[in-house]
Amino acid sequence: MKEWDVICIVCPRGCRLKVSKDKDEISVTGNQCIRGVAYGVKEVTNPTRVVTSTVKVNHPVHRRMPVVTKGSVPKDRIFDVMKEINKIQLDLPIYVGDIIIENVLNTGVNVVASRTIE
């Protein structure tokens, strides 16, 4: 049996969950509402995160364009996604939502611009 301590972040209460896996059975305790179960299971089976960073911009005043993954990527790919983001250099104008990297590292997620700089 494997056990994990997970702090639930679904609401500000911050329940301390105990998630345990026995063969294929995952159980969650310590949660004070039903949403904690889903969070606990996801955290130990397939934790994902949204990655935000910036990319270089060729402009005398605006030096960086903020970007965000449109959807979450597996937690263990975060640093690989960062490497891809850091390869990019952009010319303006760029508009909020413009795709900067399509399907980054085959995660099925695009990296997009998170503001408009004209």
Partner 1 sequence: MREYDVIIIGGGPAGLAAAVEIYKEGVTDILIIERDIQLGGILQQCIHNGFGLHEFKEELTGPEYAQRFIDQIRELKIPYKLNTTVLDITKDKEIHIINSIDGYKMIKGKTIVLAMGCRERTSGAISLPGTRPAGVITAGTAQYYLNMKGYLVGKKVFILGSGDIGLIMARRMTLEGALVLGVAELLPFSGGLTRNIVQCLHDFDIPLYLSHTVVEVKGKDRIEGITLMEVDRNKQPIPGTEQEFECDALLLSVGLIPDNELSENAEIAIHRRTNGPIVNEQMETSVEGIFACGNVLHVHDLVDFVSAESRRAGRGVVRYLKGEKSHCIGIETMNGSGVSYIVPQRMHVDEIEGKYAEVFLRSTDVYHDVTLVVKLDGKEVKRFKKPHLAPAEMEHLKIDKELINVASGTLSVEVELKEAN
Binding site for partner 1 (CB under 8 A): 7, 9, 12-14, 32, 49-54, 56, 61, 63-64, 66, 68, 75, 78-79, 82, 96, 114-116
**Which of residues 12 and 108 has its CB atom nearest to partner 1 in the complex?**
12
For residue 69 the two structure tokens come to: 């993954």
Number of alpha helices (DSSP H) and beta strands (DSSP E) in the chain: 2, 10
**Which of residues 9 and 29 has its CB atom nearest to partner 1 in the complex?**
9
Provide the pairing of β-strand 89-90 with 52-57. Answer: parallel
Q: What minimum distance in Å lies between the beta carbon of 6 and partner 1?
A: 9
Cα–Cα dist 95/31, whole Å: 42
Q: What minimum distance in Å lies between the beta carbon of 54 and partner 1?
A: 6
